[in-house]
Chain A
Amino acid sequence: MTTKTRVPAIEGWFTMDEGAPALLGSRCTSCGNVAFPKETYFCRNPHCRGTEFAETELSRTGRVWSYTDAAYQPPEPYVAADPYVPFSICAVELAAEQMVVMGQVVPGVGVDDLSVGSEVELVLDTLYEDDEHEYMVWKWRPTDAATTGQGA
């Protein structure tokens, strides 16, 4: 397989645990509000003046709130494969955090494989690569075994 070094496409947004990765959010130490990406200065709850946040791993599974795909190649700064391969995107409800988080769906899973309310889990997958590195990002993968999608 590859000998390239796997690095996160953005620092500090998710763990690099390829077996069970998690998004890294913040939890306000005053009111408990959860934010992704992480809050660093002021809590965005208007009734809280908190300025201290603990890093927190978000739930690794959730249910699809809605979904779509990108039939046309997105513009830069998206780094598209050549030739372009369409992908799906979904917005996922996390029960414990009471929030919705977006992300690409793993390759091979089309909109026909997705449905509102179905369960998905977080995985890491390659966003793009150069000569030395694979740049990794979080993606969602249906937990339904019938799908053909492959995470990293």
Chain B
Amino acid sequence: MGTDKKVAVLGAGMHPWGKWGRNFVEYGLAAASDALAEAGVDWTDVQFVAGADTIRNGYPGFVAGATFAQALGWTGARVSSSYAACASGAQAINNARAQILAGLCDVALVVGADTTPKGFFKPVGGDRRDDPDWLRFHLMGATNPTYFALYARRRMELYGATEADFAAVKVKNARHGLANPYARYRKEVTADEVLASPMVADPLRLLEICATSDGGAALVLCSTEFAKKHTGSDDLVTIDAVSTVTPRFPQAIIEMPNFSTDSSVAASTVGPTFKESVALAAYEEAGIGPEDVDLAEVYDLSSALELDWYEDIGLCKQGEAEKLLRDGDTTLGGRVPVNPSGGLSCFGEAIPAQAIAQVCELVWQLRGRATGRQVEGAKVGITANQGLFGHGSSVIVSR
């Protein structure tokens, strides 16, 4: 697609991740205020509000767009609220982008925020025997780390990945996040400390599995015409692609919250895996390839999953992620740094905010404002993310 499919990012904002225990709306408002201030746009000039929903904070969370709009003060702005598990934030971005590209509005605000309980994510309460997410906990005791661990063990079996490789991902990301003011964990860890932390789901240990966090992130998006007028410059940071593709049948890799894969009896498995297809669609939409990417923010729900993403977003071939990591290519200063923000490893997951936060980081990196974690001269970045029930997203940002 050509440049006419780009939308500009005027401002990004975040509330620091943590376990603050306050109302999620507060985090969203803090992030929105920062994004509006960075954009130099007044709230009353926002025409469309895209909220990313949280399902653990009652009704206000289900109608997040309206909740944030009311809290900022009703202005009559149009609104949307999206839930797409971990990709909720990307769908909110995509809603805003579509409104702008359709010419229905010039300026949109995207906001996602969450307040999370302690410990493993568990399904929403009640006795729900027709909900696979409820049933997988009830019948198998299968938590999210169960699935991450199945993938990790698979990497060890297929590609010779070691526990030391997984620990090295954590060590790298912990170092990346040290100077990030929005990261929850800002502490260097050694491989020995990682490998000495308790096993949660073999072969994954406590320090290798992302925590659940409170946090908020926001973006102010607008048409490129508006941005040029507003900033008086052609030097824009733009969103060039938002991929929210669903899987293709038959899906041969077991995914949360399922009990089984699809069967390949009636239709054979061909083409890319779901996670590969998420990034491929983004590259195709932006008209670029993995070789054009300077940095990536990927969903390291576990240390091992980050390695899967290297391959799924095309930074290397299947089975070569460990080499990429060991060679330092994905470390700050390397060929294509991955998770310079520190990733989920340093943030923990604030579900509806996370995919937005990934884009915030890219925006600041491309503007050269990522103090202490800057990828020098970065021009193009990609995000990748996957959640339950066939959701995933990839966003490409360029300057």
Contact = CB atoms under 8 A, between A and B. Distances in A.
B333 interface: no
Given A45-B249, A66-B157, A75-B120, A99 B263 contact: yes
14 contacts: A34-B265, A35-B260, A45-B250, A46-B249, A66-B151, A69-B149, A70-B201, A72-B120, A75-B119, A79-B138, A98-B263, A99-B261, A101-B260, A116-B153
A77 B140 contact: no
Given A68-B146, A69-B201, A89-B142, 7 more contacts: A67-B150, A68-B201, A75-B120, A75-B137, A100-B254, A100-B260, A127-B139
A10 to B, nearest CB: 6
Nearest to B156: A116
Contacts of B146: 68, 70, 89
B229 interface: no
B228 interface: no
A102 B259 contact: yes
A103 interface: yes
Interface string A96-115: 01111111100000010000
A68 B141 contact: no
Nearest to A138: B139
B261 A100 contact: yes
B260 A78 contact: no
Interface string A42-80: 001111100000000000000001111111101111111
Interface of A: 9-10, 28, 31-37, 44-48, 65-72, 74-80, 87, 89, 91, 97-104, 111, 116, 127, 137
B249 A77 contact: no
B138 A33 contact: no
Give the one of A34, A68, A75 with max B CB within 10 A: A68
Give the one of A34, A79, A89, A111 with max B CB within 10 A: A89
A48 B250 CA distance: 12
Interface in B145-197: 146, 149-154, 157
Nearest to B151: A66
The 3 A-B pairs with the shortest beta carbon distances in the complex, nearest first, are A68-B149, A75-B122, A74-B141
A104 B260 contact: no
B267 A33 contact: yes
Given A79-B138, A89-B146, A99-B261, A10 B120 contact: no
A38 B135 CA distance: 14
Give the one of B135, B140, B149, B157 with max A CB within 10 A: B140
A33 B153 contact: no
A66 B265 contact: no
A50 to B, nearest CB: 9
B72 to A, nearest CB: 35
Given A66-B151, A70-B146, A76 B122 contact: yes
Interface string B235-279: 000000000000001101010001111111111000000000000
A11 to B, nearest CB: 9
Contacts of B122: 75-77
A69 B262 contact: no
